[in-house]
Amino acid sequence: MANILVIDDEDRVLEFMKQSFEPMHTIHAFPNWSTAMAKASDGTIDLALIDYRLRGFQGDDIVRFLINLKLPRVYLFSEGDSTEMRAIALECGAHGVIKKDLLYAPLLRQVTEVLGESSGNKLKRGSGTHTRVTQRLSRIKLLTPENKKDYVSSLRDDTQTANIEELVRETREMGREQFLEKHKHFALLQLNEFERLAEESSNITKTGKGEMGSGRLDPKKSVIFFIRSRGGNPQTRVFTVGRSKDSDIVIRQDLVSKYHAVIRQDAGGLLSIEDSNSRNGTFLDGNPLNPRVESAFERGNIVGFSKILLFKLLSPEDLFVRIRMYRSVFDEK
């Protein structure tokens, strides 16, 4: 029997690990690093599985810490075992990557291999232990080959990027209350040339339709990111920003680090932001943020992911007003 430490912010994954591997092994399951630290440091762990996309922390940073504790087996726990992920594991000192396959047999095979167990220690079909585990698994919702494809696809869907024309259409067809009911999330509006002109003028309509509607200043080029979970989980309160496709807010710009910043929302709806030790820094209203230190993030604040890529934080009400301003430009066309 082995002591297996699992750090993953998805309750479903933690439950799956417990139901799958107990009583064969003891699973110590934690949703974040803060709660797992004491157990990780007590010298009893035989295998550690660290979610690479752990919210609020970088999985490779946790791996480095555990390696320094001399844990015998430390693996990144990831949806994919890609060449890039294996390279990250090698760079941070992990012993390898275990694919987060929420199907019982493949995951059991991976864990058995890294523990160095012989085939005689594997569950035998028809044994009492196998029967108990099978009965437990039948009581929780697991991924099947049929719905696994949809789950993986949902993780890669860039649903946090707004379609400007679609939002303009919605302001025509919906009233204010309907629009706000649908779009409850804060948003980041990139301050491109068009938006800078709007900010300087205070009101888009004051700039004049002819200039606003030109190809050089076109609202269709505006970029809006919703601050929400890629997986669509409404309970999520921590949102990652970066160039990595695993981020909640994916900004595909070279100036942005793979894991650039973290935005948090408390139970009362208030936001905060912190820099994730990014290469080009995070700036709030022009002031650089210290890495790993939270700062209040309020509507109207201008956040820079580097000194060049600037975004304005919009509340749902702000977003509605902004999109209505765009309508005159679209109507002109």
CATH architecture of residue range(s) 3-156 = 3-Layer(aba) Sandwich (3.40)
Distance between CA 74 and CA 80 in Å, rounded?
17
Share of the chain above pLDDT 90, in %: 26
Please report which helix (H) or strand (E) contains residue 10, including its range: none
User: What pLDDT does residue 275 have?
Assistant: 95
What H or E segment, with its residue span, contains residue 36? Answer: helix 33-40
Instruction: Please measure the distance between the N-terminal and C-terminal CA atoms of the chain and give it in whole angstroms.
Output: 70
pLDDT at 196: 56
Q: Quote the CA–CA distance of 243 and 278 in Å, as a whole number.
A: 11
Q: Which fold has domain 164-332?
A: Tumour Suppressor Smad4 (2.60.200)
What pTM value is reported for the model? Answer: 0.49
Long-range contacts of 78-86 (CB under 8 A, 24+ apart): 78/51, 78/52, 78/53, 79/53, 79/152, 79/155, 85/52
CA-CA distance, 277 to 279, in Å (whole number)?
7
How, if at all, do strands 3-7 and 47-51 pair? parallel
For the chain, the domains span: 3-156, 164-332
Ranges of the chain with pLDDT below 70: 55-58, 80-84, 102-104, 117-162, 192-221, 230-236, 328-333
The pLDDT of residue 233: 61
